[in-house]
Structure 1
Amino acid sequence: MDFRSLQLFTHLATSLHFGDTAQAMYVSPSTLSRVIQRLEDELGCTLFKRDNRKVALTHSGHKLLSFSTQSLKDWQQLKVDLREDSNSLQGEISLFCSVTASQSHLPAILRQFRAQHPGVDIRLITGDPALAIDKVKQKECDLSIAIYTPDLPTDLHFSPLDNVPLVLIAPRDWRLTQLTQVDWTKHQVIMPEHGPTRRIAYHWFAEHGIRPNVYASVGGNEAIVSMVALECGVGFVPKVVLDHSSMASLVTQIPVDDIEPYGLGLCCLQDKQNEPLINAFLQLEMAP
């Protein structure tokens, strides 16, 4: 028994006319008769009652029709699935992001990507978010979750994901809850050594005519939260960092309405954005 024989049988079981089935299936009536005879010999039963006037299915014929219908349906689905597998993306892609982004934004990205492209392996690299752009430029990763900057190199492509607000934090025991309570001549500031938070914070200070009394410059936004929690000063951090910090309960958020938010997104080299694996990431539809 083969699928072609099942196809001929199924058509005949529906048409109940040897001539019509032979014409529709592009075989001769004698070939069709031999196929049905072979099936009957193989199964050891009669599939059709035939006389000079009509053709009818036997009880055994009805059973085979049920089997053949499902088998042919499964066969067609298997061919579709195999065709999709052969056309699906395969390979490995490397992605750089901060530890915080790996907790806040990456899970939703990976869930969607892996659902669409299960054959792709993802190599995750975590580190200081200030390095995200350089990691791409140095080709140490294919993509990074990076923060948009006005001076983004022209050889990079940036695909927005979310806007992340900056918040001013102070030690909880200082009981500072309003911006007007901060004495910038008295309260020292923890600043990042580099990266967008440093640029945005200094821009905000300049707009307000404030000359910050910098106590320390540290690497990474998480370190700012730690230093503030230890009562070393106040500092600006992305809200998403504070939301995922184990020390969040030791600091107080002070509302600042007019500070620029982060533009968070996927970054890659311009000349690589149309490569299949990278483009698949950039085509994801993610709600902020």
Structure 2
Amino acid sequence: MDHKQLGYFLTLAETLHFARASEQCHVSAPTLSRQIKQLEQELGTELFVRDNRSVKLTAHGKAFVDYAQATLAKWRQFKSQCQDSDGPLTGELSMYCSVTATYSFTYDLFAVFRKQYPAIELNLNTGDPAFSIQHVHTGKEDVAVAVKPENLPQGLAYLPLGQSELAIIAPVMDCPLTDLINKHHQDSHLWEKLPFIMPEHGVLKERIDDFCVAQSLTPKVYAHVSGHEAMVALASLGFGVACVPQIVLDQSPFVNQVQHLDTNNLQGLEAIEIGLICKQKRLQDPVVSALWQCATALFA
């Protein structure tokens, strides 16, 4: 087996979906399936149970997750120890963040880092920020930009990068939802009448849940969506209202196609904090430490 196969395995073990895993690994689904099959043949056991509807880890597959994570972590540590102290710092570093974060934080950080350490290979993977902590915790990524949760898991280092207010948005186009808002904008029960586009998971979902509890509201959910950027798009089309970070809205191509709903007198929509995270022990890696120091100098 090679380290690339272990990476493929961990991605599929996390997503339990061949199409999503192949997309994240930047390979075709048949290639991913073939690599997993080769790995299973080498191990002499099945790692996944597959059928037409689902993919599940076997008992051996669950045990192999720990082995794969530990092996890749030791491999990265060994490569770091092989650094030539007289030469430029080399190696690889992977970061996970949302598309918005690539504009708001990652671009400036990578620009500084690239200038100081041009021999390091940077790998940037984008997706739903709700997965940021999970990707770092499982060892899939070295570092990630994440919304800070109320309780940060033990063993993770955290560096604040900035904050963002939360906004509840609705479309500006003429549609039944706009008519409903205009008709009941002074109604104290307006929120009960509105369809909501909700995030599937993550800190933002927790904040919206807090907002609903504070308003004694059971929201009418039109759809659950993965990714904040997609929530803005659906809100602009009139499918429902959405609560999104202002920083996401500022970078969205649909910013002029939505309006803010008044939440000044409402509780439960405190600003979110955004930061850089990695495993505490990974800061011993010279490559990860170099990025962390650049971020500290840039955002302190």
In structure 1, what is the equivalent of residue 284 of structure 2?
Answer: 274
2:250 to 243, 252, 266: 243
In structure 1, what is the equivalent of residue 275 of structure 2?
Answer: 265
Provide the alpha-carbon RMSD of the alignment.
Answer: 2.5
In structure 2, what is the equivalent of residue 205 of structure 1?
Answer: 212
SS of equivalent to 1:140: coil
Q: Distance in 1 between matches of 2:170 and 2:299?
A: 31
TM-score (norm 1): 0.65
In structure 2, what is the equivalent of residue 195 of structure 1?
Answer: 202
C-alpha contact 2:127 2:227 (8 A) present in aligned 1 = no
In structure 1, what is the equivalent of residue 151 of structure 2?
Answer: 151
Structure 1 residues 85 and 272 mapped into 2: Cα distance closer, same or farther (>3 Å)? closer
How far did residue 287 of structure 1 move? 3.8
C-alpha contact 1:179 1:255 (8 A) present in aligned 2 = no
In structure 2, what is the equivalent of residue 65 of structure 1?
Answer: none
Between 1:259-268 and 1:167-176, the stretch displaced more is 167-176
SS of equivalent to 1:203: helix
SS of equivalent to 1:151: coil
Q: Distance in 1 between matches of 2:249 and 2:105?
A: 14
Structure 2: segments with no counterpart, 5+ residues? 1-83
In structure 1, what is the equivalent of residue 240 of structure 2?
Answer: 233
Q: Distance in 2 between matches of 1:274 and 1:209?
A: 47
C-alpha contact 1:170 1:228 (8 A) present in aligned 2 = yes
1:141-183 Cα offsets, whole Å, 9 max, x none, are: 1111111102321121111111122111011132869985671
In structure 2, what is the equivalent of residue 218 of structure 1?
Answer: 225
How far did residue 138 of structure 1 move? 1.5
Q: Distance in 2 between matches of 1:101 and 1:115?
A: 20
Q: Distance in 2 between matches of 1:143 and 1:250?
A: 34
TM-score (norm 2): 0.63
Q: Distance in 1 between matches of 2:209 and 2:277?
A: 24
Between 1:127-136 and 1:111-120, the stretch displaced more is 111-120
How far did residue 139 of structure 1 move? 1.1
Give 4+ residue runs of structure 1 displaced > 3 Å after superposition. 175-182, 255-258
Identity among equivalent positions (%) equals: 33
SS of equivalent to 1:194: coil
How far did residue 87 of structure 1 move? 5.2
How far did residue 88 of structure 1 move? 3.7
1:5-29 Cα offsets, whole Å, 9 max, x none, are: xxxxxxxxxxxxxxxxxxxxxxxxx
How far did residue 116 of structure 1 move? 2.1
In structure 2, what is the equivalent of residue 34 of structure 1?
Answer: none
Q: Distance in 2 between matches of 1:261 and 1:279?
A: 29
In structure 2, what is the equivalent of residue 118 of structure 1?
Answer: 118
SS of equivalent to 2:191: coil
Q: Distance in 1 between matches of 2:185 and 2:216?
A: 14
SS of equivalent to 1:278: helix
Q: How many residues are matched? A: 205
Q: Distance in 1 between matches of 2:85 and 2:99?
A: 33
**Whose Rg is larger?**
1
SS of equivalent to 1:286: helix
How far did residue 201 of structure 1 move? 1.0
In structure 2, what is the equivalent of residue 96 of structure 1?
Answer: 96
How far did residue 254 of structure 1 move? 2.6
Q: Distance in 1 between matches of 2:226 and 2:283?
A: 30
Residue identity in the other structure for 1:138 = T
SS of equivalent to 2:151: coil
How far did residue 184 of structure 1 move? 1.2
Residue identity in the other structure for 1:264 = I
Q: Distance in 1 between matches of 2:133 and 2:224?
A: 21
Structure 1: segments with no counterpart, 5+ residues? 1-83
Q: Report 1:41-190 matches (<5 A).
A: 86=86, 88-173=88-173, 174=178, 183-190=190-197
C-alpha contact 1:157 1:268 (8 A) present in aligned 2 = yes
